[in-house]
Amino acid sequence: MSSTSATTPGSRGRVTLTPPDELLLSLLAGGLLVTAWLGERHLGFPAPVWQPLYVLTYMAGGWYASLNAIRTALRGRFDIHFLMVIAALGAAVLGEFAEGGLLLFLFSLGHALEHRALGHARRAITSMQNLVPDKALVLRDGMEKSVPASSLLIDELIIVRPGERLPADGVVTAGDSTVDQAPITGESVPVSKHPGSEVYAGTINGDGSLQVRTTRLPEDTTLARVIRTVEEARKGKAPSQRFAERFTRWFAPLAMGLALLVIFVPPVFGAELSDSFRRGMVLLVAMSPCALALSAPAAVLTGIARAARSGVLVKGGAALEQSGTIDTVVLDKTGTLTHGRPRVVTIQAVAGDETRLLRLAAAVERRSAHPLASAVVLAAEEQGISMLNASEVSSVTGQGVHGIVEGIPVLIGGPRLLAHNRITVPEALVRQKAGLEAEGKTVSLVAADGQALGLLAFQDTLRPAAAHMVRELHAAGIGQVILLTGDNAQAADFIGRAAGVDRIIADALPEDKVAAVLELQSRGARVAMVGDGVNDAPALATANLGVAMGGAGTDVALETADMVLMADDLSRLPFALALGRALRRTIAANLVISLGVIAILAPSAVFGLAGIGVAIVLHEGSTLVVIGNALRLLGFRRARERSLPAGQQALPGQHLP
């Protein structure tokens, strides 16, 4: 439990008073309890000796419980701490000093161990804050200078020597090396970096020296945004957490009321008050919902930590818990099933020459962020074509882009865009387009000044992990894996068959993707939509779980989705869904344990079948079992991974054979 400090003014400054450590106080209470019990029961100590030891036991074991009980009581509420303190004092009134001391000792010990254990899970997340070095080596005016990393600006040139951590996000301008990106993306294999490659703060440089131009301020790096997102996720509450909180909020007063009934009603009918009082105190212990209150929060916290360590960024416990309910996965094509880096493979002109067609197309596409636009510009650069300037460039969602180049209107897109602008497509061009699409290529038509000029054909490649990922999803119980894309049917069919999906929906505009998700949900499906976080944003928001690919360096991905696969690694998707299911199983088991103990102990207390010692041991034992069960998620691996020999188990970012 983190300590808070109080300061008091003094004649020579301020004196800091630090509250005692909760675990040390608990262990002190345990030592005093054993000494007092031995002195009373076995060593024949006189009462003036062992009674003060019990008093000290109560003070040490009940210190924090009493403070919390007083705070909540002053606000008009009864909580777990209040029940424990009242039960311990009741035991003392009955003369059962040892039992009351044991209750406070075990309660304080369980509380201290709870904070230590959950602190371990929190450190698995917050340790990311220590990944960025304090200093950065900056190149200014041809001179190298060491400056605080927190003072770096955009467009600074920094030098990263072999073995050092990168202090900022940026682009490599000189040097070749490999960089361990596991702290950000979960990839286990270092990634090659060369001029033009993106690098991220907190990652570890390999054997080569790199010169990097910074692209983000320290507070806006990918690592900083990940840390902020995870911190916000910790504050968010999953449905199971909200249920546990609502339950314990009214359960503690109910326990207090039932205990009072057990104490005062039986004597009305002739029962001994002392016996009724004893049963009431046992009931207070039995019905204290300590384990119940921890059932969900402990599991959610460790689940978020485990996901973050594996390159899966989760936007809160609700998203992680939701992932465990998914039975249908919908996948975008470009950038999800494929690499998202298509290249121009065919240029066909029907009016003019291919160079003019490519020059006009590249002029317009330079102003677009679409993956196909980048491919057009790259093709023009590779052919040494001089770039023209375009104006009034705008995109038509799901259809294409248009602009003005040297006074000539230029359109690039599908048949719908050209038809809307009353441009006739020659029959020969239509046949060429159909033939290329039958080969799995994506085709864009190019028109200028009201006339069709020709076409550009693009081809993207399937990710190596895509087909394996689809098989893993089926093996994990996902009923349907669907490819949903705005691309043409032939290209979608080519990629979909190679990946092994169950169903293909092509030629889908953003609103069509939303409609497809809603249609699946109307049939009772629990849908996870996986996309790039930009074009698929409406569908990501509509699905039960929105999953974005490649959060490292992608601002929109970190903002739009419930879950982000940081390394662009599809193998993390089955892992994330399996982790969600494991989380739900863990929470369910914790609820069964905590409610089961209450269900057994409460009637036993009322009918006098269990003494306060038995109630204490079972109650506190269930709390520790719940915490331990939740912490098992930190070591979670899928069943497929667990079945492999140790040397063959996949590390984060690797693909299983």
Catalytic residues: 332
Separation between Cα atoms, residue 14 and residue 7, nearest integer Å: 6
Number of H helices and number of E strands within the chain?
Answer: 23, 24
Q: Which amino acid does the sequence have at 148?
A: P
Q: Give the pairing of strands 480-484 and 328-331.
A: parallel
Annotate 105-165 with three-state secondary structure.
Answer: HHHHHHHHHHHHHHHHHHHHHHHHHHCCCCEEEEEECCEEEEEEHHHCCCCCEEEECCCCE
Which of helix, strand or coil describes residue 513?
Answer: helix
Cβ(654)–Cβ(603) under 8 Å?
A: no
Tokens of 130: 């220590």
Pairing of the two strands 343-349 and 503-505: unpaired
Bridge partners of 409, per DSSP, are: 404
Contact 631/121 with Cβ under 8 angstroms? yes
The C-alpha R_g of the chain, in whole angstroms, comes to: 32
- Report d(CA 296, CA 312) in Å as an integer: 20
Cβ neighbors of 49 (< 8 A, separation 6 or more) are 39
Distance CA 141, CA 459 (A): 45
Q: Are 538 and 510 in contact (CB under 8 A)?
A: yes
Q: CA 333, 337, 343: angle at the middle one, nearest 5?
A: 70
DSSP state of 635: G
How many whole angstroms separate alpha carbon 550 and alpha carbon 527?
20
Nearest by Cα to 253 from 289, 219, 301, 282: 289
DSSP code at position 335: I
Region of 143 on the Ramachandran plot (φ > 0 left; ψ -120 to 50 alpha; else beta): beta
| CA nearest to 287, candidates 264, 261, 253 | 253
Q: What's the burial of 7, exposed, middle or buried (CB within 10 Å: 0-12/13-18/19+)?
A: exposed
174, 193 Cβ separation under 8 angstroms: no
Q: Greatest CA separation found in the chain?
A: 112
At position 365, the amino acid (one-letter code) is E
Distance between CA atoms of 548 and 546, rounded to whole angstroms?
A: 7
Residues 6 or more apart in contact with residue 440 via CB below 8 angstroms = 459, 490, 491, 493, 494, 495
What phi and psi values does residue 164 have, to the nearest 5 degrees? -90, 155
What number of CA atoms fall less than 13 Å from residue 6's CA on the CB side? 4
Beta carbons of 425 and 452 less than 8 angstroms apart: yes
What Cα–Cα distance (Å) separates residue 551 from each residue in 191, 223, 323, 402?
A: 16, 10, 18, 30
Give exposure, 43-81, as e/b (b: 16+ Cβ within 10 Å): eebeeeebeebbebbbebbbbbbbebbeebeeeeebbbb
Taking the C-alpha atoms of residue 578 and residue 586, their distance in angstroms, rounded to an integer, is 12
